Every structure is written in C-alpha cells, then in structure tokens.
Amino acid sequence: MPDSSIDATHPHPDTLVSPGISVAGARVAPLSSFSTLRQLVRAAPLTVPPSASVRETLLKLDIAHTDAIVVVDEASRVALGIVTLRDVMRRIAIEAGDLEAPIAVIMTGGLITLPADATAHQASVIMVRRGVRHLVLTEVDGSYFNVVSQADLYAQPGARAEELVIAILAATDTATLATLAVGVRRLAARLLAERVGAEAICQRISALNDLLTLQVIELTAGRFELPYVPWCWLVFGSEGRLEQTLASDQDNGLIFVAASEEETASLRQAFLPFARAVNEALDACGFPLCQGNIMASNPAWCLSLDEWKSAFGEWMSNAQPEAVLNSTIFFDFRALYGQDSLAGELREWLLARASSYPIFLRALAASTMNWESPLNWWQGFRYDGHKDFPHTIDLKKHGARPFVDAARIQALARGVPDTNTVERLRAAGSVIGIPPHETAALVDAFYHIQRLRLEHQVTGSANEDPNRVNPDLLHALDRLILKESLKQARSLQQRLAMDYALTS
C-alpha cells in the first residue's frame, strides 16, 4: 500500500481538513465507545518547522526510530505537511534532491486529518480508502496533536485483520467479496475464542463490514451511469449504530439533492436500478435482504434531502405506532458512501428539532415499557414460551433492545449526535447527571449481552435462532453476569419511566 496518494503540489480533492469532521462527514462528537486516537498514540509528537533542512529532518527521524514526521508552523501550531522516510529516500536517492533544501520542498501537503478524539474505526476506514499509512490528528482549534500510523491501529487487541483489509480492497467481483465476508466471520470467531473484549470485536466487525460494503458499492457504481448530483448511501439499524453482530440483515437507504419535485422523481428512477444491484450484491455477501424492505432499492427509502426531512418531520409530529417503529430503525442513520455531508446536514436538522416534540419522545419512551424483563421476581429466568425454542431468552429483543432504545431516546432529547448505543449512554449520562460508575455499569452490561449473542452465533447450529440463548447452557459466571446485566436494563427502563411519567 502506498504511503500517500496525495501529491504535495496537487492536494487530493477529497482531503479532509476540518478537525471537526468525522469519517462520516458530519460535524459530530467522536465515538469514544471505541478506542480513541488520542488514547492510542503513545509516542511524543515529532515535528519540524518548514524551514528545517532535509538533513535535519532525516536526523530527527533516525534518532526517534520512526518513519514519519509532521511539518508544523511554529506560530499557529497548524500542520502544513507530512514527511515519511520513504518520501525522503525517493526524493534524495532517486530524484537527486538537495539535503540542504528546506523540508517544505519535499513534504506532502493536502493533509488528511482527523480529530484527536476520533476513533480507531474511523481512522482505519479512511486509511484503507485513501491508500495512506498515516493520518494527522488535530485538536478542536485545528492545531496539531500527533500522527497515527497504520501500525498503531493493527497493534490493538482484535485488530489482526490486515490481510482481510488488503484482500477486500483488491476484490474485483461479488463472488470474491462473498468469500471474504466468510473470512470476517471467522476472524470474529477467533477473537471470541481468544477472549478479546466485546467492544474490540464489535469495532473489528463494523470496520470490516463497512469496508466490504464500500467495496460492493464502488464496484457496482462502476456499472451504472449515475446522475451527476450529490448523493450518499445511508445505513440504519445495527449497522448505523456500529453494532452489527454475525446475524444482521440489511437496513439502508439513499439520499440525494434535487432542485424540484420533477427532478426528484427523475433522479429516484435513475438511482433505483443501482440501489437494487447493491442490495442484491450485499445479499450474496451474507447480508440478507431486509424482510421489511427497508433498503435503498425501495422507492420509499430512495429520497431527496428535502424528502428525508419531511419524513422525519412527519414521524416526529405523529406519535402513532408506525412512526414509533420507524424511529427505532431510521433515527440511527449513518453515512457510509458518497457525499456524506448530506447525512450531516440531515442529522443537524433532526437534532435541532427533536426536543421540540415531547409527545413523540414520550411515545418512544412508552413503547419501551412493553419490555418484560427475562427475570422473575425472585431473580430467576423467565421464558416467553416460544414454540420452537421454549427454554430460551431472546438476547436481542429482551437483552440488547432496552439499552438501544433508551440510549436513542436520550440522544434525541439531549441533542447527542452519536448513533452508537454506548456513546449515546456516555454522552447523555454526563448531561442528565448519571454518575460515571453507573454509566460504566450500563456499558459493561450491554457489552456482556452483545458478547453472549456473538458467541451463540458462532457456536450455534444453523437451525437455531441466532439471538436466543438457553441460560442453562451458559457458564455459571456468564449466567450470573447475565442476570446482573438484565437488572441494569431494568434500571434504565425505570429511569425512562420516571423521566416521562410512565408506569414501568
């Protein structure tokens, strides 16, 4: 993989330069539920001023035993460019460059940057899509913080996926990607067997599935003459929350810009065949078609920006059951491919208005009250009497869902832009005064349930429900922690009931 795809004199047209923009393009808070880049970087920042000579820069690189250094303006602390050992050697050895020339002459400008509090997931996606090995990290004010390398990311627990990443990016057809999707599942199984934390595993699955989906879209787009207008592929549900397990179907849509109703209808018809081809390719890769038809190939979910705003506005002003059901899927949207600023604009529009619809928020909270804890009054397990799996608990419906629903409601009510459940809990908790240790308990409970779901999906037979677990077959410690996790879900539901004056 090349160290940089950006020429110093011709910056890449898609270079990210704003310290407040994430991989999804929206001006949002970082997803600190995954490892943040600030925490990831251990070495002290290595910099040189633009006036430093090539010789001085090489000496610094040698002393630090590293392969990259950032050129920083001494007055503003803004990063101007990056220099790697590979760049220097090419310019000096091959192009006969001058060792006494200022380093600014050979540095790579047009930097790809990320906020220091962005996540490893965001960084890994950007690196592989842009073909770079380093990203410059910035503070909120745009000043330089440090640099993160691909080696930093792959050194993390559960990050052993470099071969899969390379293979996904090299794939040229759906059949190859389908084979690689099996490899993603095998990697998850291996990480589970090695007792890697559920958070790290979810991060790996999400990052690899994102890359695989991106490659599917890119390969498919090459077969169509798509309209020359801004558009973006959106993902909803568990994929939008970065919480895919090994048994997730598709939930996606498409957003585009149109100047009139007539143009909207025309553009929709132009995008639909492409969207259908993407949905079918993802299905072939092991992401089943959505049974509810919540996919970009459905004209109802291939909409202009104005139509999406209208749809969200209608749902929030209408507290009917269908609107509440839609909120559990669509309100977790995230940009994946294309002009991701469209999703950012839609998110800002939504969060600016959500708190103005208290009846809708109360209806969302009321819908969570139909959740019955799988624990009975003496703290034993209670089963729902499923005719095919009578002695089991649905860990998606009765385990993870209470956390997901409560976090979504608090995020909408408090203007939290994140879609990930854990980050929503952390951000909202700090606003509404939940003590950090209580938030940590909620997070641990949610991830324990997620781990049990993943383990069952890896070890269970094809005839079993991927989310149903027989508690009697769990290890005694896992069974005990599951009970405590379900108690945390109950406490979260009780807090919602109190906030919205509901009977839990």
End-to-end CA, the chain:
55
**Rounded Cα distance, 310 and 323, in Å:** 13
Domain regions of the chain by residue span: 37-153, 162-340, 363-499
Chain-centre distance of CA 482, in angstroms?
Answer: 26
- Mind giving me the DSSP string for 64-104? HT-SEEEEE-TTT--EEEEEEHHHHHIIIIIT---TTSBGG
CATH number, span 162-340? 3.30.460.10
Same fold, 37-153 and 162-340: no
User: Which tokens sit at 112?
Assistant: 């790809």
Beta bridge partners of residue 285, listed in sequence order: none
CATH number, span 363-499? 1.20.120
What order do you get walking across the sheet with 113-115 strand by strand? 113-115, 134-138, 144-149
Which fold is adopted by the domain 37-153? CBS-domain (3.10.580)
| pLDDT tens over the chain, length 504 residues | 333 323 222 223 232 222 222 333 332 333 333 457 887 777 788 899 999 988 888 888 888 888 889 999 888 899 999 988 877 777 766 556 678 888 888 888 878 888 888 777 778 777 766 767 889 999 988 899 999 887 677 555 545 567 787 788 889 999 999 999 999 888 888 888 888 888 778 878 888 888 899 999 999 999 999 999 999 999 999 999 988 888 788 999 999 999 999 999 999 999 999 999 999 999 999 999 999 999 999 999 999 999 999 999 999 998 888 888 888 899 999 999 888 889 999 999 999 999 999 999 999 999 888 888 888 877 789 888 788 888 899 999 999 999 999 999 999 999 999 899 998 999 888 888 889 899 999 999 999 999 999 999 988 766 678 899 999 999 999 999 999 999 999 999 999 999 888 875
What does the CA dihedral 96, 100, 104, 105 come to, rounded to 10 degrees? -30
In this structure, are strands 302-304 and 334-338 parallel, antiparallel, or unpaired? Answer: unpaired
User: Which tokens sit at 215?
Assistant: 């490659």
